[in-house]
Chains A and B, each alone.
Chain A
Amino acid sequence: GAVVSQHPSWVICKSGTSVKIECRSLDFQATTMFWYRQFPKQSLMLMATSNEGSKATYEQGVEKDKFLINHASLTLSTLTVTSAHPEDSSFYICSVLAGKNIQYFGAGTRLSVL
């Protein structure tokens, strides 16, 4: 399967600052990537679908101006949490859509906003 690298694995930031999370597909040309978040003791929730070279598609209730997604190449998608607040503290996970509609996931980024 595809190997997905996510960076950083853990980040702490002050309220009001922006944080960028990178998701790299190391061995697969990924036209489509996904971003999920997971709050403690809950399941993963899809945030957005990221398509290379076009605007991301956001799920209902996810603010596109707050969670900026850029998918400028077939191997890199980034998620920027702008003006982060404590309620944005969560586990953010990306995935790559490979053949047979299988998704391969990164290890996740744990964001803590103070």
Chain B
Amino acid sequence: DAKTTQPPSMDCAEGRAANLPCNHSTISGNEYVYWYRQIHSQGPQYIIHGLKNNETNEMASLIITEDRKSSTLILPHATLRDTAVYYCIVMGGGADGLTFGKGTHLIIQP
């Protein structure tokens, strides 16, 4: 699976959009971009995933660049409950376990 690079931490004001970047320059054609988050002392939570088109669901939007070498997770109206570590994971279509990097610790400020 391709390696990902994320900033270690980010701050965002409550009510504003939180934009979390992820670089995955070695992604291959059949690999998807998945985003999970882990709120402190809880199990991770699936957020969204995509291959090459932008995706949106009730939690977030995922913007993938045309060359697929980077992506951005957007939380449109961040709340205090969105404070968590966000993981960007690239993987192919196999039923494999996830490789978690260090992620981005997003802190939502009141």
> Interface residues, chain A, CB within 8 Å of chain B?
1, 4, 6, 32, 34, 36, 43-46, 49, 59, 91, 93, 95, 97, 100-108, 110
Instruction: For A44, list chain B residues within 8 Å (CB).
Output: 38, 44, 98, 100
Q: Is the CB of A105 within 8 A of B97?
A: no
Q: Is the CB of B103 within 8 A of A43?
A: yes
Instruction: For B101, list chain A residues within 8 Å (CB).
Output: 43
Q: Is the CB of A106 within 8 A of B43?
A: yes
Evaluate whether A32 and B95 lie within 8 angstroms (CB atoms) in the complex, with A45-B100, A101-B32, A102-B49 already known: yes
Instruction: For A59, list chain B residues within 8 Å (CB).
Output: 97
Report the interface size for chain B: residues with CB under 8 A from the other chain: 24
Q: Is the CB of B45 within 8 A of A105?
A: yes
* Cα-based distance from A106 to B42 in the complex (angstroms): 8
Evaluate whether A108 and B41 lie within 8 angstroms (CB atoms) in the complex, with A100-B49, A101-B32 already known: yes
B77 located at the interface, meaning its Cβ lies under 8 Å from any Cβ of chain A in the complex: no
Of A91, A93, A102, the contact of B46 (CB 8 Å cutoff): A102
B99 located at the interface, meaning its Cβ lies under 8 Å from any Cβ of chain A in the complex: yes
Residue of A nearest to B46 (CB): A102
Residue of A nearest to B93 (CB): A101
Evaluate whether A43 and B100 lie within 8 angstroms (CB atoms) in the complex, with A32-B95, A97-B95 already known: yes
